[in-house]
Structure 1
Amino acid sequence: MSQITTLALFRYGSWRRKLWALSQMGLASGRLKGTPGMRFFKLLGTGAEGFSTRPDWAVYGVLQVWDAAASAEAFFRDHPQFQRYVRHAEESLIIYMRPVKSKGHWNGVNPFEGNAAPEAGNSALAVITRATIHKKYLRTFWKNVPASQRPLQGIRGLIYTKGIGETPFVDMATFSLWTDADAMKAYAYGTKAHQEVIRKTRELGWYKEELFARFQPYKITGTWKDIPNLKTFRESLKGRDTNS
């Protein structure tokens, strides 16, 4: 069976539970290391309003790369740390994805084997972009972010987007979920604000390290109030779960 990637998101309600979730950014790593079948993982905080310098204290995530879908299913079913996340959370969501294309590095490695042929009949696309920003460019980079993100509002085909990352301000990433590749390309290559950020990135060399990865989501479990059409999108993926 081929490699898969999962992104689990958790939303916490009370401040007591939010503080618990924040504490897991330091405590959970040791509990997850050595999980059978897991070859890479990152504990993630998130940004408010999609992609922002302001933290979203209510939402946290776990990104994991698996040798096979069976290992992921066993983890979500049985692992004590995942059960802790679920018990404390107000709601949770798991997105299962096959890596399609990946270039660049995350902490010196490319964890995604981006060579899977997309399954026919499933046009959905997920994208992860990740970068470590040179400290001398932090102010300039974040000054340009609002303009580049503005075109995302109401854009066709965007199901969900969220800023994610391990370290605030410096190690940043984005996750986005789309109905199809054409919709993603229309934003990435068809909006002037986003193109301007790409140009500046190339000219100024903002990043010490960067990675861009595309995936085909094939299964979504759980609930997420920020995706009002989740049921419809989930239905569009049915019949594509061939790895589990």
Structure 2
Amino acid sequence: MNNQIPIVSLSFFTYSIRDQFWALKQMQQSKTIRYKLHGTSFAKLLGTGGGKFGFSIKPDFSTYALLCVWKNAAEAKTLESHHIFTQLKGKSHTSETYYMACTQSHGAWDGVNPLVPAVEYQSGPMFTLTRASLSAAKLLAFWTHVPATTRALEKSNGLLFSKGVGELPIIEQATFSHWENSESMLNFAYKSEHTQVLIKAKKQNWFKEELFARFIPVNLEDW
């Protein structure tokens, strides 16, 4: 494989009650964490939502996520040796990291799109990341329609995992999802209750900024 293709890593860490306040305090680093992770072009420390499917207005204080965009596979392989990662993992009860390559991306996060499409999807599992920064005037409209999207996710065939993530509760929201294949994801996106919510969001300008990206899984040992 081409070692110049950017690699995206998303790590989830869960914490016992005694370490949850420590984990929450680490969120202060979210805006500057990229500069502490050599080899990344973009990085965020994220909180998570308490819902089992997608967005949730209730925070999950037991789980946090570290999103990194690495310049290439060689840099991505250094993730677990970084002090920040070892600290987060060392205090966690469980942890899991997904390594991915981007197949499609549009939109922006903090004014830029950090996710560059570099590979083509052929078949098999797919990951998606949907992120939005909500307009203050549209918060009620958004959260009123969240249950419909949640129901659609819960009913989706082929959904393997989904977790809401974000920098700030209520106004900065994202969902990471793992699908059996592209068809499963497309059925949710365009053939479920989610479709009408998406149309309404576009028409009513709910979002100040949004980003949508698709990925394929990567085994770093093959790169």
Q: What TM-score do the two structures reach when normalised by structure 1?
A: 0.85
Alignment of 1:101-180 (within 5 A): 101-118=104-121, 123-180=124-181
Greater Cα offset, 41-50 or 95-104: 41-50
Query: Paired residue for 1:242?
Result: 222
Tell me how far apart the structure 1 counterparts of residues 202 and 70 of structure 2 sit (CA, whole Å): 32
Tell me how far apart the structure 2 counterparts of residues 137 and 66 of structure 1 sit (CA, whole Å): 34
Deviation at 1:154, TM superposition (A): 4.3
Provide structure 2 residue ranges, at least 5 long, that are not aligned to the other structure: none
Quote the RMSD (CA, aligned, Å): 1.6
- CA distance 1:142–1:28, change in 2 (3 Å): closer
Provide structure 1 residue ranges, at least 5 long, that are not aligned to the other structure: 220-239
Q: 2:11 corresponds to which letter in structure 1?
A: A
Asked if 2 retains the 8 angstrom alpha-carbon contact of 1:28 and 1:81, the reply is: no
Moved over 3 A (4+): 27-32
Deviation at 1:36, TM superposition (A): 2.1
Tell me how far apart the structure 1 counterparts of residues 33 and 213 of structure 2 sit (CA, whole Å): 27
- CA distance 1:81–1:115, change in 2 (3 Å): closer
Q: 1:90 corresponds to which letter in structure 2?
A: H
Report Cα offsets for 1:21-77 as digits up to 9, x if no partner. 00000146546514221110011000012321000110000000001122122121x
Q: What TM-score do the two structures reach when normalised by structure 2?
A: 0.92
Query: Paired residue for 1:213?
Result: 213
Tell me how far apart the structure 1 counterparts of residues 69 and 207 of structure 2 sit (CA, whole Å): 24
Asked if 2 retains the 8 angstrom alpha-carbon contact of 1:32 and 1:81, the reply is: no
Query: Paired residue for 1:68?
Result: 72
Tell me how far apart the structure 2 counterparts of residues 31 and 163 of structure 1 sit (CA, whole Å): 20
Query: Paired residue for 1:186?
Result: 187
1:35 aligns with 2:15: no
Between the aligned residues of both structures, percent identity stands at 37
Report Cα offsets for 1:151-195 as digits up to 9, x if no partner. 22242110100111001111111100001000001111111x211
Deviation at 1:132, TM superposition (A): 0.7
Tell me how far apart the structure 2 counterparts of residues 164 and 197 of structure 1 sit (CA, whole Å): 19
Tell me how far apart the structure 2 counterparts of residues 43 and 110 of structure 1 sit (CA, whole Å): 17
